Amino acid sequence: MIDVEDLIALVHNYNPRTNADLIRKAYAYGMRVHEGQFRHSGEPYFSHPVAVAAILTEQRLDDATIITALLHDTIEDTKATYSEVTALFGEEVGELVDGVTKLTNLQLSSTQSKQAENFRKLFMAMSKDLRVILVKLADRLHNMRTIKSMRHEKQAQKARETMEIYAPLAGRMGMQWMREELEDLAFRVLNPEARNSIIRRFITLQREAGDVVYKITADIRTELDKAEIDADVYGRAKKPYSVWRKMQEKELSFSRLSDIYGFRIITRSEADCYRALGVIHQRWRAVPGRFKDHISQPKTNGYRSIHTTVSGRDGKRVEVQIRTRQMHEVAEAGVAAHWSYREGVRANNPFAVDPARWVARLTENIDEDDHDEFMENVRLEMYTDQVFCFTPKGDVVQLPRGATPLDYAYSIHTRIGNSTVSAKVDGIRVPLWTRLKNGQSVDIITAEGQRPQASWIEIVTTGRAKAAIRRSLREEDRGRFVKLGRELARGAFDHVGRKATDKALRTAARMLGLADEIDLLARLGSAELTVRRVLETLYPELTQASGDVVDSRRPLVGLGDDQSFRRAECCLPVPGERIVGITYRGQGVVVHAIDCPALEELEDQPERWVDLNWHAGRHAPVNTVKLDVTISNDAGVLGRICTLIGEQKANISDLQFVDRKPDFYRLLIDVDLRDLEHLHMIMTALEAETDVAEVSRHRDARRKP
């Protein structure tokens, strides 16, 4: 464990004005409250907070962050309280320690909805003070460095969490060195065989070709000296995980993989960066498409550097990064550079970004109610690289790699995105799904009345665009459902001699626990609610007396008198579901459920589509539905299942065993029933049966309509 004076010396190296007494006080307090606690390795527990503090000194962080690292587990794991920590070390440290404690309690790898909720809390903590995340990342880094002492299953859980959450978060913050180390430590746990294989191949390569890194570094230094450019040159082989990921993405073997070495040139000025680039390209052949200028177009986390890939010694591809010393400090510390100290004062690095603005950009336009959408946006923001495009006026628009003109339009304004009809890139009209490249000029063409289409979701890549499109589609769908629901309600009410007035619908909505009549109509139109349910709620005496009023030979509204029909075998729709008819020559009209995959092949033949609805009222139990049921292989179970279906006033017309196992049978049961509500009653009754492992509606998209 690092001694307190050694820790103070590490801080003193970059901050001679450090409050050494306060660090000593925090060190002594942490050691006292953690006394008697030990890590899985058998070491005193306090060795961990000290190691976390030492990691943060590498980022040259302020005293408050270093002290927070020393105390970050005190509120969580000892008798220390927030009030006591605040009284002893000040409100700033108290808030930071409390923030880290709350993050520690978040289970980021739990269920999807819980994970989304916890990610919101994580980003909320980031927005208050980003130093909380810096301490948490250093905490995770040390835990991963010492993970071998944990149980195997705990190692795997921590490694997955690190790979999915903490490593990309570190990368998004610009702390690339930490991202690479976290990924490699997790890779060592999750796939040790692959990692060892790559290391062995590096050793073999070095044995065959000598120290390639040293040779290429010497070559670069020689060329820079000739041009009288004062610069430092560093080289290294890329981390095993980085190499393995590239092998997976490009589906290449190690022997065919290029670009496994990286080199950095640290110059004294920005002008020297471009001079060094000229020297590199004059000496070695540049690889087309592998040049990025992040000096003129910096990333959102402040990263600036020139990237180029060249064919170096013996034809080996090598990546060269060129930047100034100040740019390098931001490249190493990322957003943390905002708090870096030098010679006792906050470093005035012109390239460090404002953390508050960075977090605001990261989390903008995230829908509070949609867990899946939130998680999708988080992952999009965490993993994307950047491209830079220009407006017609020459302003720069920053977008993730793979962005399209639609993403560009939504980044300008949601109104522009929603009304986009086409786009021009560098003056040429292009499809909306075109992937934008660095330096292109984009001009969006809009039209009044244009609305987003469902297919746009697959075209865009940014969370902002996806959220805006989904919001617009929901509003548009709701309007269409309300209109359809009103027609369904009018027809059903007329059938029993009543009027579907707003007052009647409002009363039904209140009795059904809905917000208002508009909500009721929307649910009718989307088939979440049946008109029969509404009528039964308002007029139970009328619906009970009506009996089986629907003629099973003509159960549909929208067919001509001379048109025959049949239900599609692929989806077998039942009354209560939204449907559409498709005309077939010599076969009449085939009725499909509105979500049937078979309809995709007919989208370009609108003349064959027939608008259909089910007649309101009680339908006869003649509509066959196929159920996929898995039951336990015990005496009498099948008999009980058949009895259960019969008790629901449904008839079994066919039964087929599709899988027999020692413990379970899987079978397909054809059940004749009335409507969608009847189907739900039967499935609910089956699901409640102890010996039923699983039940679902079976639809076979491969069957011909």
43 is catalytic: no
How far apart CA 14 and CA 26 sit, in angstroms, is: 20
364 phi and psi, to 5 degrees? Answer: -70, 150
DSSP element (H, E) containing 633:
none
Phi/psi zone of residue 575: left (φ > 0), alpha (ψ -120 to 50 degrees), beta?
Answer: beta
Q: What is the bridge-based pairing of β-strands 428-430 and 306-311?
A: unpaired
With H, G, I as helix, E, B as strand and everything else as coil, classify residue 193: helix
DSSP 471-487: HHHHHHHHHHHHHHHHH
DSSP-derived secondary structure letter, 499 = -
626 phi and psi, to 5 degrees? Answer: -100, 125
Report the 10 Å Cβ neighbour count for 396.
11
Work out the end-to-end distance of the chain between its first and last CA atoms, rounded to an integer number of angstroms.
73
Tokens at residue 31, please?
Answer: 């050691």
Tokens at residue 332, please?
Answer: 């190493």
Instruction: Say which residue the tokens 């508050």 belong to.
Output: 356
How far apart CA 19 and CA 12 sit, in angstroms, is: 9
Report the 10 Å Cβ neighbour count for 91.
10
62 is catalytic: no
Report the 10 Å Cβ neighbour count for 314.
9
Catalytic-role residue among 76, 476, 519, 691: 76
* 3-class SS shares of the chain: helix, strand, coil, % to 5: 50, 20, 30
Instruction: Say which residue the tokens 């909306």 belong to.
Output: 432
Catalytic-role residue among 58, 77, 117, 569: 77
561 residue type, one letter: D
Q: Contact 468/414 with Cβ under 8 angstroms? A: yes
Q: Hey, CA dihedral for 413, 419, 425, 431, is it positive or negative?
A: positive
Instruction: Say which residue the tokens 């801080």 belong to.
Output: 11
What residues are annotated to the active site? 76-77
